[in-house]
Structure 1
Amino acid sequence: MIESLFGYNLQSIKNEETKSKTPSPSKHVLEPKRLQNITILSKALNATAEHVCEALMQGKGLSLPQLEALVKMVPTKEEESKLFNYKGDINELGSAERFVRAMLDVPYAFQRVEGMLFRETFDDEVVHLRNSFSMLEEACKELRSSRLFLKLLEAVLKTGNRMNVGTIRGGARAFKLDALLKLADVKGTDGKTTLLHFVVQEIVRSEGIRVSDSIMGKISQRSKNRTEEEKEEDYKRMGLELVSGLSTELYNVKKTATIDLDVLASSVSNLSEGMKELQHLVEKELHKDERSINFVQCMKSFLNYADANLKELRGDEDRVLARVKEITEYFHGDVSKEDANPLRIFMIVRDFLGMLDNVCKELRKSKAPRSPNPLAMLPLDRS
């Protein structure tokens, strides 16, 4: 009886302690899911609302990860209205809502965030675009100046014309590069040797003889005592080394084939739009706000820098596009308006180089003597 009347009820004590430690429930004006996202982002900032607001007023003091997190916290018009029109005690709101509410006291707070983020990422974006334009320019130079690539094209044209003697396809003066991708489809009577194998074998031998005559033949007397079969092996070895190096020689051509020109163009356009938005914020919205003078001065300095860089970037873009058009017309004649991808020529060459590398690997493994094969006819463009 004494125990039941006067003994400690441990469970009730724990409940009382837990109850006393539990803060009064916060009031919320934002949707639960949205509130959860903002809470996570605000914790990731690792900064107080006071620090963030001061940084926004000054236009500096926030890192790239912090700015990226803040951009994701931009409230909708409805959310902004709810926070502004909240009549209760601000301290009763959750920490994330108090954070956003404090930011809204800064004029054009989230436009400032976007402007500061634009400035933070501007240089990296410009460097990326310049590198891409430089790669395109180098790819054009590589295609135009590669002696070995032109030799391969010449061999394809001569082989096709030789096969088509006496037909309407004979005597062609040129062909579109698309035909290069069909060379592996044209097979000889043995069912194995393709027209690509045949052309590569011819180039390998002619290049091997050229190197042998210009270097090996002059410095090595042993070749005089070698058999014809041994000489052929030497030609093959030296020629294969040269032809296999074409992929390295056209390195930028292959890399350019992965570029999306539309993405590059939109990136330049996006930079221009971002700069216009920041100019509007600085020169129109905050121009007469005395509290924002530090932000305005900070951003005006950046805008002058960005404007100069964008002018150079547009010049690079125009110059490179002209070079791409020029190289396409050099190999394909008049550029078709129907061709949606101006960089298609580089994609064709990249795929052809992949086929060429495979043939070279097969020829390295092959010990069989070289012999011509009767081959099917290659469709050529007489234009």
Structure 2
Amino acid sequence: MQFDSQASELRNSLGIQVRNSVKLKRIMQTILSLGNVLNQGTARGSAVGFRLDSLLKLTDTRARSNKMTLMHFLCKVLEQKLPELLDFPKELVTLEAATKVQMKCLVEETQAFSKGLEKVVQELSASENDGPVSETFCKIVREFLSFAEGEVKSLTLLQSYVVKNADALAHYFGEDPARCPFEQVMSTLLSFSRMFVKAHEENCKQLELEMKKAKEAEKGKLKK
């Protein structure tokens, strides 16, 4: 009775895709370049890459004034040099939904469908020996199975595809899926995206404040 709604819900979860963002890739290249410049002359000054969780540490590194973080500086550099990259979160519209997907749960749910289908087949087989009393029941179950068997097969294939691509996504970012599973990759990217947007907004507010002060100072000079 619940098959349709449960299958639809599972398919929606399995169907979530995180599109590779060209803008995110270019931002990561910029972060690597900034890191190498800042670490020039040290053992870390010629890195060819960085761990994904390093994205969340950009707000920890602060300037001497303690007001600007490396994330603020990144946004400032992009604003000046590559402003077209500032809206990269728009390329990751499914990111938040993807963070709610748990691979282990998806696998277990798909397996539960297969096992449930097996029980239905067994029940049908047993009921077929009951004669006329179960004739209507058997007819309805056969109709259900003609649809459900194909649906479960489709879901199983889709689940296998999603798990495979989830591991491939970790490899794409240079991570080991065993150490940095899909859920962690998605959570890290979502947090980075939000921190980036916040830092950019703070930069814009700071710029507006500075412009306002400059205008007030200019007015003061004119009055004198």
Q: TM-score, normalised by structure 1?
A: 0.52
Deviations 1:245-298 (A, max 9, x none): 3223211122101222222222111111211111111112x1210111110121
Matched letter for residue 357 of structure 1: V
The answer for unaligned runs of 5 or more in structure 2 is 212-224
Q: How does 1:143-292 map to 2 (within 5 A)?
A: 144=20, 146-208=21-83, 243=86, 245-284=87-126, 286-290=127-131, 291-292=133-134
1:366 paired residue number: 206
Matched letter for residue 188 of structure 1: A
2:10 paired residue number: 129
Q: Does the residue aligned with 2:6 lie in a helix, a strand or coil?
A: helix
- Larger Rg belongs to: 1
2:178 paired residue number: 337
Matched letter for residue 257 of structure 1: T
Matched letter for residue 126 of structure 1: A
Matched letter for residue 204 of structure 1: E
2:144 is the alignment partner of 1:302 = yes
Deviations 1:124-183 (A, max 9, x none): 222212211221xx21xx2x2x22211210111001111111111110001111000000
Conserved 8 A contact 2:103-2:163: no
Give the whole-Å Cα distance in 1 for the aligned partners of 2:27 and 2:140.
57
Deviations 1:82-111 (A, max 9, x none): xxxxxxxxxxxxxxxxxxxxxxxxxxxxxx
Work out which of the residue numbers 349, 352, 355 in structure 1 matches 2:192: 352
Conserved 8 A contact 1:161-1:172: yes
Give the whole-Å Cα distance in 1 for the aligned partners of 2:190 and 2:97.
8
Give the whole-Å Cα distance in 1 for the aligned partners of 2:166 and 2:177.
13
Matched letter for residue 289 of structure 1: D
Matched letter for residue 11 of structure 2: R
Give the whole-Å Cα distance in 2 for the aligned partners of 1:316 and 1:294.
33
Q: TM-score, normalised by structure 2?
A: 0.87
Deviations 1:216-264 (A, max 9, x none): xxxxxxxxxxxxxxxxxxxxxxx5xx51x32232111221012222222
Conserved 8 A contact 1:324-1:342: yes
Q: CA deviation at 1:202?
A: 0.6
Q: CA deviation at 1:338?
A: 4.1
Number of residue pairs aligned between Structure 1 and Structure 2: 208
The answer for unaligned runs of 5 or more in structure 1 is 1-119, 209-238, 370-383
Give the whole-Å Cα distance in 2 for the aligned partners of 1:358 and 1:253.
17
Query: 4+ residue stretches of structure 1 with deviation over 6 A?
Result: none
Give the whole-Å Cα distance in 1 for the aligned partners of 2:177 and 2:169.
13
Cα RMSD of the aligned pairs, angstroms, is 1.7
Q: Does the residue aligned with 2:58 lie in a helix, a strand or coil?
A: helix
Aligned pair in 2 of structure 1 residues 348, 251: CA closer, same or farther (>3 Å)?
Answer: same
Give the whole-Å Cα distance in 2 for the aligned partners of 1:274 and 1:191.
59
Give the whole-Å Cα distance in 2 for the aligned partners of 1:298 and 1:360.
59
Q: CA deviation at 1:349?
A: 0.2
Matched letter for residue 161 of structure 2: R
Deviations 1:198-227 (A, max 9, x none): 11111121123xxxxxxxxxxxxxxxxxxx
2:216 paired residue number: none
Give the whole-Å Cα distance in 2 for the aligned partners of 1:362 and 1:337.
36
2:155 paired residue number: 313
Deviations 1:283-334 (A, max 9, x none): 12x121011111012101211211111111111111111111112101124x
Give the whole-Å Cα distance in 2 for the aligned partners of 1:301 and 1:258.
34
2:215 paired residue number: none
Conserved 8 A contact 1:254-1:349: no
